[in-house]
Structure 1
């Protein structure tokens, strides 16, 4: 049973539903030489180190009205970083009506709601192909909340925080809460697609596919950039320095990598 603002009922105690948003992004780069690969990873380490990721998660906490209890962060050698926030209910007096709306969430200027006994984490995974000259950067962000707010309200900001070629987004509502008569509620807001929480100007940039299991309150959306400009996948130079055959070969190689990530399977040559 899902609720609209007009149908909102009084709960028996705290809202025990657990809502988890998993945001997974990929950045892809063609790195022909060892020095190019090292330069790309240096850029990634600078752009997405633990301190900057902490700032991103701080803004996510503000958007969903969380009070940060503890922060653990770590940069790894040779590359990668992790940050974990333990958060609790923030001092929000009233639930905004748009908590239930299937609309993109705010950017950090606005706080929307509160949560309790929850966490926000990010882990990064830079890696490279040993032979094909492809390097990728992946970041996984999980926002898990209890209470009335959906962490999907943080999705708009997360998309704006990363330079993303491919996104896979999962949302799941688990457990149940009860109304004052003891009736179980397994979801407390309407949702038809994660896409409804993504701004139109972003949706225009991506091919999107939904795989939803409505009866289990599981929602999945994956996104791949529509437009391809090889210059966006070269590091330290542009395609004007390449021969026509090199442009063709690298374009095919990068698109192949993107398709395999997007469809989640190896594609034969």
Structure 2
């Protein structure tokens, strides 16, 4: 079925399509000593503890018009945190026209539509290299909705909420719903790329790769920061405290770490 962005299709009963956004982000840092590494992990655990993550997910819930039924949250030892929100249909019953357009969603200052049988989760994974001085922080967020709104409308806010060097985003529409004539509808909105839901100023900051399987309603986008400033990757000091050789060696390690994460494979230094 050929869909127009502005078109509203009359459905039989509730919209049963399930739309899932998986948002994965990485923050990379160089931590030369054990003390720096421990301080970085402590900083991340404080910055993105279960209470802060709950606040972020509550804002996501507001953005997609959900009512929170239950919250489960946990800070782990020695590091990391998880939060799960079970959500149901919110109080707003009118679906705005722009919810069908491939445009970036708002930051949390309005409620947009309805959904049911849905959940929002986040898990964090601070970790470090055993001897190369690299520490990373990863957060995985899943927003799964049933209803007319796409969770992609929360993507702008999620990017805004994390200090991100690398992002990987997956979006998939599952199942089917029926129109008033009983015809199956396997997707209810046009989508060409997840990139269309990211603001232009953010897209300019990242190198991006798309892998889309349109016939299966599967969309994948990954992003890596274009510009590299060593000062943004040193914890507690700046590059003027380092020799030129140290700056070069640390830069090579950080760039290799980001390339390996971005391309999803180990890079042989001898290649």
> How far did 1:93 drift?
2.3
Residue 226 of structure 1 is matched in structure 2 by 226
Q: Does 1:43 align with 2:40?
A: no
Residue 260 of structure 1 is matched in structure 2 by 260
Deviates more, 1:259-268 or 1:1-10: 1-10
Residue 242 of structure 1 is matched in structure 2 by 242
Residue 158 of structure 1 is matched in structure 2 by 158
Contact 1:65–1:112 (8 Å) recurs in 2: yes
SS at 2:188's partner residue? coil
> Structure 1 residues 230 and 214 mapped into 2: Cα distance closer, same or farther (>3 Å)?
same
- Mapping 1:129-144, distance limit 5 Å: 129-144=129-144
- Mapping 1:62-77, distance limit 5 Å: 62-77=62-77
Residue 90 of structure 1 is matched in structure 2 by 90
State the distance in 2 between where 1:15 and 1:201 align.
Answer: 33
Deviations 1:148-182 (A, max 9, x none): 00000000000000000000000000000011111
Note the aligned Cα RMSD (angstroms): 0.8
* TM-score normalised according to structure 1 size: 0.99
State the distance in 1 between where 2:78 and 2:234 align.
Answer: 22
Aligned length: 269
State the distance in 2 between where 1:195 and 1:151 align.
Answer: 14
> How far did 1:6 drift?
4.6
> How far did 1:3 drift?
3.0
State the distance in 1 between where 2:95 and 2:56 align.
Answer: 24
Residue 15 of structure 2 is matched in structure 1 by 15
> How far did 1:247 drift?
0.2
State the distance in 2 between where 1:4 and 1:216 align.
Answer: 19
- Mapping 1:114-153, distance limit 5 Å: 114-153=114-153
Runs of 4+ in 1 over 4 A off after TM superposition: none
State the distance in 2 between where 1:150 and 1:3 align.
Answer: 15
Deviates more, 1:5-14 or 1:220-229: 5-14
> How far did 1:111 drift?
1.1
Deviations 1:83-117 (A, max 9, x none): 00000000112110001000000110011111101
Residue segments in structure 1 that go unaligned for 5+ positions in a row: none
State the distance in 2 between where 1:155 and 1:254 align.
Answer: 26
Deviations 1:125-161 (A, max 9, x none): 0000101110000000000000000000000000000
Residue 100 of structure 1 is matched in structure 2 by 100
Deviations 1:167-214 (A, max 9, x none): 000000000001111100000000000000000000010001100000
State the distance in 2 between where 1:69 and 1:2 align.
Answer: 36
Q: Does 1:204 align with 2:237?
A: no
Residue segments in structure 2 that go unaligned for 5+ positions in a row: none
